[in-house]
Structure 1
């Protein structure tokens, strides 16, 4: 219980301080995604039917996409709009008491209002009108050939059957449609998803603690992870998607490389390649 309370307080402090910054960061990411899709496939993200997989409670990327497209979101968690009692009852039934209480607290503390205000300031719109279905990406209820563009950010590392999820994402694309997903690599330095690694308070967490048996008790992630390695992701993507393009994002490679090499020289992390230790995420696109 104390761990959950600490996590909730840590997340509140981070979001309360960084709501505007986070919205701006996601907008920058989406601008870059748009440039990537245009350059690779000569496809403009305009007037498309779009699926946002794992839209999240704030739906920041959905709001960005909805400026010029028809957008539908899905998420394993119920996304409760406003204060509808029916929505929270559904959340309680589907996602349990902890998620429901956490959502009620977030709304009561005005965190959702902060994000909505930041979205309107940056994009001129929010996400209030974007429909979200409670749905598993590995078992979507949409007909085949339903979407022109499928987008998924940092979700698939939490999916047990990634092969099935990728097949589903490709199935719902129209012929010629484009898919794009990112996944944070478990072997990345922040791959444990411990909230402290994102809040800047990492004084008690050694580098790659989650991969080091003597240190792994020092981290506590906030989600179940499939723990797939870089080679497994590459094999899965090649097996499930047509002509995928895979880019490795390594924003702190120079600094992390030196630290990883030092640790390996002292006998740590020797079962991992330097490439997978310094890679933060995979960015994958394909055309059906």
Structure 2
């Protein structure tokens, strides 16, 4: 490590945004019989999801591997959108899951499960009410307005794995927002913005929900996942515009999350359609 690297990694180099303590995270999270098999923190990478998918495909990662980056230079969201944030301003990490006990047709619940786990952890640890925008956005309230503070991206890894990536703005300030509609835990008035306990809480919550879901063979009703997601979903009960594959647009009220994790939309004509993929826009009431 060069003197410059040492300076950049020092816990005193940015008192507002100290680096994560990788050794302490491993001590807290990696245990015999637990889900998390390893926790690695890197200073910077293009995308933790891309890195972990590559490792999984090469047979170089076990289930429960956690890869965290202090900064990402090519982070991606759904529909290949870019995610940018200053170094150490958030939590940017990916995990490898291999839910062999769960039928593959239920794996689509994993991004929604992750949303529930993150929202639950943030409520407990940061004191921030985090809502879920179907299918994978994390919303907080800033100045009375809904703002996106995070997102979730799931990607297949080989024949038996899924990599789940989470990006969450923690200490992003107003002048650092990539777009006016973005938010952060800091701007939402979080009681705690220390990333170490936040990451521990999120990963413990994810392990708890994942174990519950696997024990129920992925059944969203028996595991309580479907009801819990619906209770925290800000999309339900709203007028939405769904921009669907094939340049099709569907407008109506989002009324439910079905057993496959799809968003059920009822149009003004009373037609009911379950949407499994697409971009959902919350329509403001006129």
Is the pair's TM-score, using the shorter chain for normalization, greater than 0.5?
Answer: no
Taking structure 1 as the reference length, the TM-score comes to 0.26
* Structure of higher RCO (CA pairs closer than 8 Å, 6+ residues apart): 1
Normalised by the length of structure 2, the TM-score is 0.26
Query: Which structure has greater strand proportion?
Result: 2
More helix by share: 1
